[in-house]
Structure 1
Amino acid sequence: MKRSAQLDFFRGLLLIVITIDHALTYNNIIKRFTYEFFGWVSAAEGFVYISGLTAGLVYYHKYVERGEQHVVKAARDRVVTLYKYHLALLFFAFLIIISNFYITEYWSQYYGYLFQKPLLSILLSSALLYQPMFMDILPMYTIFVAFIPILVKCFNKGLVWQVLATSIAIYIAGTLIHPYHVIDTLVSNKNIQTGFYNLLCWQLLFVMGAISGFMFYNNKTKKLISNSYIVYICAFVALVLFVEKNLHFGIAEINIDRLTEKPGLGIIRLVNFIVLCFLVIHVASRNKNWFVNKYICYLGKYSLEVFSFHIILIITFMPLKVYLNNICTIKLTDNFYLYPLSSLFVLFLLVPALYLAPTLVNKRIVPITK
C-alpha cells in the first residue's frame, strides 16, 4: 500500500502546532492563533484522530493481505515500541530535570512525586499509573493500538456501525466518570496519575479515525465527503462555534464549560472537531496537491520520534522561556502579550530542532527527500 503524503503532512503540521502550543506561554498573542483559534479544537484532537485513521488504514490493509495473526503481531510490536518510548521519555525527563537547578525548580511542581519517590514513581509509570505532565499521550496511544486487532476484525465482519455504537456508549460512560476516580477509589496511593485525558472519552476520536481509515481503504468515502448539503451544514456549524468561541455571545445564555472541556472531550468540542475535520477532509480530497510539502511530510513520516523528541526539548528549555519572557514583554491587551525573545526562540530554534529527531533517535541519517 502506497504511503499517504497527505497523512504525513497533517501529522507533521500538527506536530509543529503541538510544539508551539506546549512551548509558548498561554497569554502569548501567537498562541492565540495556534491554540483553539478555529473553535474548541486543538491539535491534540486532530493528532488522536489521524493516529486512528492511519492505524485503521494500515492494519486493515495488513489484515486483508496477510491475515489476522499478522495484524495481532504487528499491533503487539507497535505497542511494545510505544511502551519503550514512554519509559525512555520518563527516564530522560528525570535526568534532565535533576541536571540543573533552574530546571529542577521549574518542574518540581509538575514532577514532585518523581523527586520524592523516584523508584516507586517509575514502577507506577511502568504500569501506566503515573503519567505526569506531557507523559500521558504515548500511554493513551499504546492502549488504543492494543485494541486495533479487534477493530479491524470487526470491520472485516461488517460490524462498523456496531463498533461505532459501542464506542459512543463508552464515551457517554466516560462523560459520567473518569477512570482516575475509579482507580482512586480502589487504590489508596494518592499520587497515582492516569493523565490529563479521559481515555473513555478520547477513544471515540481514535475509533472514528480507524473507521475512516477502513472506509478510505475501501473507497467508501467519496460520496460522503463530496455531499454539498453536509459540507454546508458543517461550514455553518463551524462558523457558529467559531464566532461563539471568539466573541463569546453565550449559547442560550448557559455555561458551556462542561460541554467544551478538553479532558473529557465535551460534546460541543466533539461536534466542533467533527465538522472541522469533515471540512478539512473535503478540501484535501479536492485539492490533493495542497498538502504535500516535503519538509512537513518529513516530520509526519517520523511522528513517533518527533513527538518524543519535542517533549525532551520542552522539558529542557521551558525554564529558559520564562527567563526570556522576563527580559522582554510587550503588553498588547489585558489578556495578551507579545514575548519577542521567547517567541523567536520557539519558532526559529525549537521548531527547526524537530528535524533532528529521526536522525538522533534512529542513529542514522534520514534524507529529507526520501
Structure 2
Amino acid sequence: MKRLWEIDALRGLMLVLMTVTHLPTRLTDPLGQPFGFVSAAEGFVLLSAFVSGLVYSRIGYSQGVEPMRRAFWKRALKVYLSQAATLLFLFFVITAVSLRIDQEAVKNLVSYYLAQPHRGFIYSLLLIYEPALLDILPMYIFFMLLSPWVMAFGLRHGWLGVMAMSTALWVLAQLGLSEWIYAFTVHWTGLPVPFQEMGAFNTFGWQFLWFTGLWLGASRNAPDARPLRFPSWLVSLAAVVALYGLVWRHFGAHGQAPFGGDVELNLLFDKWQLGPLRLLDLAALGVLAVRFGPAIIERLPRFRWLEAMGSASLPVFCAHLVAVLTVLAFYGDSQTARPWWGDALLLLAVFGWLYAVAWAMLRWDRRKPAVNAAARQPSAMSRVQKPAAPDAKR
C-alpha cells in the first residue's frame, strides 16, 4: 500500500510537539497545546487510528478477517515489546543514575517502583502500573487488541452501532466509570497498585478518539466511499470555535488552564478525561484540516525529515522517551536549568537523535525486503542445469 506522505508529515509534527512539551525547556509552556486546548497527543492518537483503519480495513476487504486480526495482533506485540524495553531502560538505567545523583524529578516519577520494586516491575509489565510519560503505549496496546473485533463488526454491519457504544463509554468515563471499575477490582482482587499510578489517560474516554479515527480510516476503503466534504456553515462554525480556543489559550489570563483554579470547570477541557469542550475544539480543528489542508499542502514544500519521523513513529516515540528521561535524570524538571543557548543546543541534539533513529529504522525496513528476496533466490549451484536424461530411443 502506498504511504500517504501528508499523514506521515503530520504524525512527525505531532512527535515534534510532544517532544518539545515533554522536555523541560523554556518552550515547554508556550508550545504546549499550541492550537488551542488540544495537545499533540490527541492529534497523534487520531492520526494513528486513521492509518490503522486505512491499512487494516484494506487487509480485511482483500484477505478476510483472520489475516486482519493477525496483523493487528502482530502490531500490538511490537508495541508491547517497545513498552517493555522502555520500562527496562527507566527502571535499570535512569532510576539507577537518579538514585546515585539524588535526582528528585525521576524519584518522583517512579515513586511506586521505589517503594515496591518487585510489584512495580511485575505490574508494569502487565500494563497495570504505568509511570508518567510511559502511559500512552499501554492504551495503544489495549486499543489494538480490541480493534480486530470492532473493525470486523464495522465492516460487516456498519459503524453506527460501534460509534454509539463508543460515545456511551465516553459519557460514562466523564461520570467516573474508571474509578468505579478500579474500586470494584480492588474490592474483589486486592489489587495493590494505587489508582493514580495506573496512567493519566482515561482509557474509556480516549477510546472514543481511537475508534473515531479507525472508522474514518476504514471508511476510505469502503466500496461506496466519497470524499469528506462539510457544508459551508459547519466550516464557518468550526473556524469560530477554533479561533476562539486559540485566542483563549494563548491570550487568556490563565494560559493552559482555561478557568484558572476552578477544578470543576477545567474538567470540561480536561486532557486526561478528554473533556467535552476539548473534544469540541479538536473537532473544529479537524473540520478545518480536512477542508483547507489539501490546498495548504500543495503550497508548502515537503518536509522530508518530518515524513521520516512519522513513518517510523513507534521507534521515534520510544526514542523521544529515552531522550526526555535522560534529560530529567541529569537536569531535573526545571524549565530554566539552562540558558537559552543551552536549550537550543539540547533541542538540536534531541531532534538530531530522533531523526537518526527514524533514518536507521527506515533504512532497515528497506533492507529487509531486499534480504528476503535474496534469500528466496536459488543458489548458484542450484541454477546449474542438470544433464538431460538419455533419449529412450537411442
Matched residues in 1 for 2:227 and 2:29: separation?
34
Does the Cα contact within 8 Å between 1:97 and 1:104 map onto a contact in 2?
A: no
Change (3 A) 1:122 1:32: closer
1:147 matched to 2:150: no
| 1:216 aligned partner | 220
| 1:86 aligned partner | 83
Which has the larger Rg?
A: 2
Residue 155 of structure 2 aligns with an amino acid whose one-letter code is: N
Matches within 5 A, 1:196-345: 196-218=200-222, 220=225, 222-225=227-230, 227-248=231-252, 256-289=265-298, 290=300, 292-322=302-332, 328=338, 339-345=339-345
| 2:6 aligned partner | 6
Percent identity of the aligned residues? 25
Shift of 1:176: 0.8
Shift of 1:85: 1.1
Secondary structure of the 2:323 match is helix
Change (3 A) 1:278 1:86: same
Residue 295 of structure 2 aligns with an amino acid whose one-letter code is: R
Q: How many equivalent residue pairs?
A: 351
Give the gaps of 5 or more residues in structure 1: 329-338
Secondary structure of the 2:274 match is coil
TM-score normalised by length of structure 1: 0.86
Aligned-residue Cα RMSD (Å) equals 2.6
| 2:125 aligned partner | 126
Change (3 A) 1:205 1:221: farther
Q: Which moved more, 1:239-248 or 1:63-72?
A: 239-248
Matched residues in 2 for 1:323 and 1:241: separation?
28
Matched residues in 1 for 2:30 and 2:334: separation?
21
| 1:353 aligned partner | 353
TM-score normalised by length of structure 2: 0.81
Matched residues in 2 for 1:366 and 1:313: separation?
26
Matched residues in 2 for 1:128 and 1:54: separation?
24
Shift of 1:229: 2.4
Change (3 A) 1:139 1:75: same
Matched residues in 2 for 1:190 and 1:95: separation?
20
Out of 39, 56, 59, which is 1:62 matched to? 59
Matched residues in 2 for 1:291 and 1:125: separation?
43
Q: Which moved more, 1:264-273 or 1:275-284?
A: 275-284
Does the Cα contact within 8 Å between 1:20 and 1:351 map onto a contact in 2?
A: no
Give the gaps of 5 or more residues in structure 2: 368-394
Change (3 A) 1:150 1:244: same
Change (3 A) 1:325 1:167: closer
Change (3 A) 1:185 1:341: farther
Secondary structure of the 1:108 match is helix
Matched residues in 2 for 1:318 and 1:138: separation?
20
| 1:336 aligned partner | none
Does the Cα contact within 8 Å between 1:40 and 1:269 map onto a contact in 2?
A: yes
Q: Which moved more, 1:36-45 or 1:290-299?
A: 290-299
Secondary structure of the 2:132 match is coil
